Each structure stands twice: as structure tokens, then as C-alpha cells.
Amino acid sequence: MNWQPGKTGIFKIIKNNIMVILKEQEEQIVNFGVFEYDSLKMSNILDVPEQEIIKEMKNISSTFYKLYQKGVDMADYVIDLKLFDMAKSGDIKALDKLDFRKRSRFDALKKRNK
């Protein structure tokens, strides 16, 4: 598929079906990860067919996927950092939430490595 957007010129699909992402759009894709937007929302914002977004998100080697995942990871880090600061100042609920998030990540890692 050689799809190219009409007006935006943001992305293009070259002959070997690789999405080319312009440098200016990298931050936008990271932000999609921060907000954990789904493929439909991203396709509407970018004016890109949803199937192209889905294809990129399934390819963990793609630049799109890596940028999106960076946003997800950055958001987790910021949340954990804030919870840690709140826990240090005596907020028991923040400590419980931070502990829950750590256990959840550990459990997910164990499942992945089975």
C-alpha cells in the first residue's frame, strides 16, 4: 500500500510498507503513549488509516511502536515518582498505591517470562 495523506504530509508509507515518521511528529507519538490513546484516536488525529496504526503498533521493532512505548514508560515513571514523593512525606495511600503498581509490574514480568 502506498498511502500518503492529502493535506498533512506528516507520514507516508513507502514501497516496503514502512511508515516514515518526520522528526517533528516524534513528540506527538510519545504523547499518544503518555495518554495511552487507542489506534482509532491516533488515526483520527494523524489523518492516517487506522489499519496503518494497528500494523505499526503490532511491530515492536517499528519506530512508531518504540516512540509510543517510550510515552507509556515515561508516564509510569512520572506517576511512580510522584507517589514516591508523597509516600516519603507520610501518605500511606500513596505508599499502598506505589506498592500495588510495583507488584503489578512484577507479576506481569513473571507472566511474560514463563
Determine if the pTM surpasses 0.85.
Answer: no
Cα Rg of the chain (Å, integer): 18
pLDDT at 1: 37
Distances from the Cα of 38 to the Cαs of 17, 45, 50, in angstroms? Answer: 21, 11, 10
Q: Can you say how many angstroms the Cα of residue 51 is from the centroid of all Cα atoms in its chain?
A: 17
Task: Please write the tens of the pLDDT for every residue from 5-47.
Answer: 444 445 555 556 678 888 889 999 999 999 999 999 999 999 8
Task: Please write the tens of the pLDDT for every residue from 45-96.
Answer: 998 899 999 999 999 999 999 999 999 999 999 999 999 999 999 999 999 9
Is the sign of the CA dihedral 46, 77, 96, 107 positive or negative?
A: positive
